[in-house]
Chains A and B, each alone.
Chain A
Amino acid sequence: MSNPEFKRNLWLSFSTHRLAAMPALLGLTFLAAALADPQDNVAERLYGAAIMLFIFIVWLWGARNANAAIVDELRDKTWDQQRMSALSPWTMTWGKLFGATSFNWYGGAMCLVVVATAGFAAGKPDVLANAISLCAVGVMLHAALIALNLHTSQFESRVIQRGGMGWLAIILVFMFMPAFSLGDQKPVHWWGMEISHALFWLDTALLFAACATFAAWRVVCNALQVRTRPWAWPAFACLLAVYLAGFARGDNSLWLIGLFVSVAMTYAALFTEPNTLLRWRKLRLLQQRGDSRGWLEHLPVWPTTLALSFAFALLAMLTSSGPQNEFSPVNMLQPQYAFTIALMLLRDACILLFFSFAPNGKRAVGATMLYLLVLNMLLPFLAEVAGLSTVRFFFLPFEATYESWSSVPVMAVHAAIALGLVRWRLRNNEQP
């Protein structure tokens, strides 16, 4: 066995009792499903039951075990030993990904045999595609949880103390479950192509499983002090934009969707990455030394998608042919506000840095969220109630009653004030 991490997980996951219990319990469950209603089509019922059991055993239970693969190491203080090992990041990644969930895959494999046998017997279409999709979603869920838990652990140890990001699996399971519903499945229209439902979900699941596994490997690399440069995060934003734009109509919807994907990913990274003053001092030091490789290796990922947001905003505005109400019913989703949105993102990032660079920056995320709520909701609401529409526009410049270009200088003022605050904080809060 060439992967010690995988082997260790097998030791922990399997026992003679568990090896025998899983097929016995599954056999009894399938027998019960087959005998439940003798009048009905047995193969069809077994097919449905096997899919549901697979979802429970691999997706949900497996997600719990993948979650524990990181949470337990950190909680039991064995993670330093793993970081001190000579294992390569990839060996560690796949050892955890398939080792921690090995018992679930053992049960899942039996379910897949029933899916395939019963599916062909019942004359179900796309049995093989569905089976592969089920597996790919499982891998995606497990890899995503490993990546997210490791990523958040470097910033917020309370996430680990509370049991990690396992709750996210529930959301993802409900997102992907409709793809395997037994009803009529219409073809999917994507980038003008008509693709069969099963094939589309197969491609989607494989694509995101590959992305999640890659993400898990990258996060493990960083945890093992193997430095990486921050190109994968913006590349994933571009990939996601292309994927989502395939469903949209409109000439410049790719740029607008790219903008919103980049904005969402910037916020996600901004609030989950360490943004301490120390990190930024290290970056300044590397910049002064002209060490561009080291600078890129220590750079958080959110500035990359922030830059991408400005690029998408410019493209959206340059290719815009006026308001597109059909696609964008909300004002701020219209192309002429694209640059304002990018500036708003810059402002919010600066607000977070302002709080993070404070002498006690532990509650920076909470403070930022609170002030963003005040700035974006409470103050505009109070201005509205007071009948001060100009003041309201100054806080939230997305109103059709004003020229859309005027929103850019307003948000530029916001961003300039926020940048000034960060500079002020940096000047006044130097380390010894």
Chain B
Amino acid sequence: MIEIGGLTFDYPGHRALNDVTLTVASGSVTALVGPNGAGKTTLMRCIAGLETPLEGRIVVDGMDVIEQPREVHRIMGYLSDFFGLYQDLSVARCLEYAAAAQGLPDDDIPDAIARTAERLDLTDKLHQLSGNLSRGQRQRVAIGQAIIHQPKVLLLDEPASGLDPEARASLAALFRQLQADGMTLLVSSHILAELDEYSTHMLALRDGRMLENRTLKSPHAADEHRMLHLALAQPDARLPEWLKAHAQVVLKEADACHAEFDFRGDLHAQAALLKALVHEGYTVSSLAAHKENLQQSYLRSVAAHLEGKQ
């Protein structure tokens, strides 16, 4: 859905994006992660056509953003990290303006407002002035403005900042729902645990360079390659050596009680491993797939990057 090639963006005295090349799959929810100053906001603004890069090409749904920014805006929604609302307009009018400004036909606008308000739990707030809403409600109105025209691509820069846990949970549910509807989401946030709930892909940036762009695996996926965690009820010093000798195991860390390893086999092979462990006399208390969370994944990317630098 989004293809970026050789993207370079400079600020005075500072290169914000350095030859970034990436693709974002259609229908994915990509977590854009990285420390402050990594270039996340600049990347989003370039994709949104709000900034012109020094070099590079950005294509969204087959359209060149630099050449056809207005056409791209019709299929794109963007929520800035510092968004604003028209304080003196009611929520309904804010949504009506956004719908009309995105080119929705007049006849479709009332339905679009009702649908968006319902989706964001704003139906009972439609006649309130947006300036009188709470931070969380304002955030929902801003998201509503970004999605009212049902864009194919939605860019969200720190959408959950300043929201309480309940509002964050409902936001996560909304993003999952939007993904289910076929929308492609690119979400940046510092709160990786929150992104973990709904992201399917991770895009890590650091110092304007892309560290990693990969799919995040589901813990239940019956694929041929996944991380397993083993725990014993009774310590057994033989465990690390026994696992090391197993053909399908690539040991990551192990001691007498626990082990974490990469297992190359399907669910039947995993069952056979468990059987063999019990047969060998290990008191297995658990053997479960261990999903690497976004935080771990990101830190592993950073560690690999720093290792490569040295």
Contacts and interface: CB of A to CB of B under 8 A. Distances in A.
Interface of A: 1, 4-5, 7-8, 11-12, 76-88, 224-226, 276-278, 281-282, 285, 359-361, 431-432
Contacts of A80: 50, 78, 80, 83
B12 A76 contact: no
Given A84-B76, A285-B54, A12 B70 contact: no
Interface string B249-275: 000000000000000000000000000
B93 to A, nearest CB: 6
A11 B87 CA distance: 12
B70 A278 contact: no
Interface string B79-99: 010111111110001000110
A281 B93 contact: no
B262 to A, nearest CB: 38
Interface in B38-76: 48-50, 52, 54-55, 69-70, 73-74, 76
Contacts, number: 88
B246 interface: no
Given A76-B86, A84-B50, A282-B52, 18 more contacts: A4-B97, A8-B86, A11-B93, A77-B82, A77-B84, A80-B50, A81-B83, A83-B50, A84-B73, A86-B73, A86-B102, A86-B103, A225-B49, A226-B70, A277-B12, A359-B12, A360-B13, A431-B15
7 contacts: A12-B88, A12-B89, A77-B82, A84-B49, A85-B73, A85-B102, A225-B70
Given A80-B78, A281-B10, A282-B54, A12 B86 contact: yes
A276 B13 CA distance: 11
Contacts of A11: 89, 93
Interface in B1-22: 10-13, 15
Contact of B12 (A82, A87, A225, A361): A361
Contacts of B247: none
Contacts of B86: 8, 12, 76, 78
Interface of B: 10-13, 15, 48-50, 52, 54-55, 69-70, 73-74, 76-78, 80, 82-89, 93, 97-98, 100-103, 106, 145
A84 B54 CA distance: 20
Contact of B69 (A79, A82, A224, A278): A224
A342 to B, nearest CB: 30
Nearest to B55: A285
A226 B67 CA distance: 9
Nearest to B76: A84
B100 A276 contact: no
B144 to A, nearest CB: 12
Contacts of B76: 84
A224 B98 CA distance: 16
